[in-house]
Structure 1
Amino acid sequence: MSDASATILFDGVCNLCNGFVQFVIRHDAAGRFRFAALQSEAGQALLRHHQLPTPSEPDSVVLLIGGQAYTHSAAALGILHGLGGGWRLMARLGQGVPSGLRDAVYRLIARYRYRWFGRQDACWLPTPELRARFL
């Protein structure tokens, strides 16, 4: 992953996903990442632009960088890599696991995320300080 800015599309009503976005914000000192909820107009437009499905129930975080779209475990590992430092090492270790196994675990967590972590009735709204990083 280059140092260019990247966009993370996430399930805006998923508590696990919102927690992950807040984790990225806390650890993204360089401010590389921008964000959009998959349910938002901007998120839907980006999915269409990258010819990705626009499901009513999202099942993956999406990382958009360098004209490419990454989903499932590749997106999560790409995001960790982009945070740098020790997170880059964690991403490299994760990439050592076969993608089929990584994605199977990712899909299992995605399938049960609402049951395990809950969901909100509406998308999370960023604070005024963070609004510029959200599409």
Structure 2
Amino acid sequence: MSKFTIESWQESDVMKGKNTQASLRSAVIKKHYVGVLQGTSITHYSLCYLPNGSATFTGIEVFTGQYQACEGSISLLHEGLFEHGEAKGTLSIIEGSGTGQLKTISGTAHFCAGEQKEHELHTHFSL
């Protein structure tokens, strides 16, 4: 398991709901990781907000640092849902995206993030 903190979150409108009830937004998030993963990342999200306040999101996160003391970078595909003040997401390593000692890494992860400052990422990776 790793823990991450969100260092910055910049969100902007892509399309306000004119002909639809949904609003499309994009976000760039910078994170800092400690634990099994140690390093930093940048995630680019596309979010679809509904009038009830929930949102579906997809994105790609690029992590740079260490996994179990092996250095390199990986790209992760995100899919998730935000509702009732909590974001839940699943991540999968994009095959072939690993560099350095993480070149052969594969697997998935999941998180649940609410209002707290630090969030848990449960990894199921293999080298």
What is the TM-score of this pair, normalised by structure 2? 0.25
Q: Which has the higher contact order (CA 8 A, sep 6+)?
A: 1
Structure number having the greater strand percentage: 2
Could you say which structure has the higher helix fraction?
A: 1
**Bigger-Rg structure (1/2):** 2
